[in-house]
A and B are shown apart, each in its own frame.
Chain A
Amino acid sequence: MLGLTKRDTILLLVVAALTLFAPFILNPFPEGSAMAQFNAGYPDLMQRFVIFGIFAVGFNILFGLTGYLSFGHAAFLGVGSYSAVWMFKLLSMNVLPAIILAVIVSGLFAVIIGYVSLRRSGIYFSILTLAFAQMSFALAYSVLTPITNGETGLQVYTDDPQYLMGPDSPTVTNLFGLEMRATYTLDLGPWSFDFNAGYYMCALIMLIAVYLSIRIFRSPFGLMLKAVKSNQQRMNFTGLNTRPYTLAAFVISGMYAGLAGGLMASMDPLAGAERMQWTASGEVVLMTILGGAGTLIGPILGAGFIKYFENIFSKINDTVLHQWFAFMPDGLEDFMVFLVHPFIGKGWHLTLGILFMLVVIFLPGGLVEGGQRIAAWVRGRKSAKADTATSKTEPAE
């Protein structure tokens, strides 16, 4: 279907089903129950899942295929957000022009940064991209204040020109009138599920982004990118110019990042310099490696995983812990809370850090490799069972 093999089609359909039913899947616990704090099905967070999914899928086209590790991709995220907010200020609150401009401007930006940074490879390339991103961050924060509104961040004011605003155009971000914040809540007994317009728009765009990424992975161009990672020397002596290949991959992944930035601003029409900071660049590296660099869905898994931790684990506090361990004798309860305390709340970074190390050491292929190993193990057990079953029947024959 759509020019994909059967396996890739199934993969895409699974991702589509998961995103479509995410409001149910992410809210498995009844409202008000003790476990409800593990629910992640609220619009804000679901939007972040898919937006960072796009960011990571794009990053993976560069890092997963060519092996070039950029430490500056947050710059494109920021550029995308700024461009989008400018569209809101100049035209109207319709997100479509905003998203389009975000992709174009971040693409142009990526051409410049990529052209310079790709003159080096390995650690030097990473450092160059990092330097560029930090430079962009510093500029956005100070020198470029007329464009970025400096520390305050760029936002839409009532006296902005907004040339395309009609008298009854919505004053919140919308897609031709469909407000991004519009949410339909379905109450089923104690359960509650949110269906948000902004989330579904982002989810649809993510599916297109994933589809394009699969096509790139399966194309001759994708094969050349893998060849860049494997052996540049052999490429050069096979008549292939690696420079335009790596630059194209860099620009594509920069455009994905810009798209993600534009979507962020479309969900919440703000853009701040901190979106470009190196920690944000590092985060997408973690997402990609955690999920499985070079795999098709690894980056999405990684993005979901990290955003879940950031938003859910960080909200567990000592009071919650006391509730959990309330069944224990007092002394033991306090001791357990004391033990778990460093890993929750503000300590979620610690938990994530440990998880990341475990994955890198034991599952170099990321969560995807974990999944594959479990699948192989289950299959192994099944076939082992089948073996014993047949060997049992043999004597009877």
Chain B
Amino acid sequence: MSSNYQSKKLDKKQKRCVAIIQNECKIEPVADGISKYVAILNAGLSTGLTEELVLETVEKFGKITRLLMLPNKSYCFMECSSTEDAQNIVQNMNGISKIGQKEAVVYLSYFDSLPQAEDSNWLKPLPKGLVILNDFVTEEEEKLLLDVIKMDNVEVDAALKHRRVKHFGYEFIYGKNNVDPHKPLTNKIPQKCDALWPRLESISKSCNYDFDWYVPDQLTVNSYEPGQGIPPHVDTHSAFLDPILSLSLESDVVLEFRKGLEKRSVLLPRRSLLVMSGEARYDWTHGITPRVLDVVMTANGNLSTRRRSKRTSLTFRRLRRAPCNCNFPLLCDTKLEALKRTESTIESEKAALLEEKNVHNVYDHIAEHFSETRHSPWPQVADFLKSFPQSSILLDVGCGNGKYLNCNPNLLNIGCDRSSGLLKVCSSLNYQTFRCDCIHVPVRSNSVDGCISIAVIHHLATKERRLMAIKELARILRPSGQGLIYVWAKDQNANNKKSSYLRQNKSVNKQKATEEQQRQQTQQQLEEKAKEAPVSLPVHTNRTEFLQQDVLVPWKVKNASAQQSEAEKSTFLRYYHVFEENELESLIGEVNDIKLVKSYYDQGNHCVIFEKLSKSL
């Protein structure tokens, strides 16, 4: 009975594995039959299976023509030479063999075909400007280099996830990701390295490699234990010249390159020299995933795993001592700094023009689609509206499609907006509105009990104009009347809670939105479009954190007609001034006849409730 129970349990487990494969790979098991396609159900790349082990075990029982191992999967597939081979393999291994797995035995099942393999990023061309020179140093040289570097007496660095690091020539300061060229270290690059440079020069000449190079003056040595890695990064543009050289000692490792959505895995063999120049150096990030096993492509073109051992990398660089002049702006710290300096320098003469072109015109174009996407009122705004007694006069300045004009039907709700497109939407819903801008509200002073300004003031391009808008709200309020303002926050992550704006970005959920991942395929096109704006401003990448306060935010119109499918035609750039913490409160402080009642952070916005003082009557 117990053995029957055992076999039933196994049967159940096997069925569950088959169902997973059916679902994930869209292939069908061959019920009661035999085929030459066999799946190993519970061992694969994710459980550390190697091509070598599979071949060694399987070929005792039959011949296979193809082994297919999929990344991150705990199963793999074989195409056998014949159904006889397949049958023999299954009979001898199913529920018996362990193929080097520590715990359970493996299960095998027949399938009708092999799954469609995804386009492996191993098969795509390497990033431009990336060269790997195999066997760049001999084993003897490897030993000599390790001796002079003396990593053993370097303390582990907790801040660097316990990776050991040592600098020669100049210290690389991790906090600011730069070097101080005025503080050379007494520890220069060891002379043992000198032999490498004539070698590199002669190879680059004989192979016609397309990189200029300089004898390095800075060396960072990293010592990685198996399981350690380094997050995706780009070597700071302004800190170092092109190219970056990296010598791998003691172990192979897989380096992951990323550029926007593009990904490449590159195997760095032990004793090879990696040369990153041009695009590979400036426009791709590189990093090492912290893990013990790497997935690599074998000479047969199959994926397999490789166990890491301790690895030491020598990264040789040459200080730039000047701003970067590269042609790859997206990851360029020099370019980014320049963008930050353009902040708060929007001239007042251009502010109105910028708002006209990159706010009002855009809203008129997108009114319909915008309105479709804005139907549910934010709860805390609705709560504010419900706090007023019956017959209170409520003015919504910048009412958009009027979604707040029926939150509390006990009020006399009036809305106004600059966009006639949005006002038409209000009109169709029988809401009371008029057209005006928010710095000249045509309403008599001291006349309304409440006013709200939701997502409006961040469209004004100078501090002066933002202040004028708040003064208008203060002017129209009657004494003891209250106003509520929402503006977009630069920090979309306050209280460690991602705003829904960020949450909607699934990829950001998966991996932290670092500056380096803030790229999209359309970015370049949008940068072009941004040149049409009256003021030169950076284009924000949607659903990522803001890098600057004054930005152009793309609005993509969905269901655009076929001719409009290019990003250029269907994407509009809206101007935003996103608010720093306390910036809104300090504006309120500059207005005489109101006092701050409450300020809070809600849905990625900075929000204030303020009250008109009684004495101002």
Bind each other? no
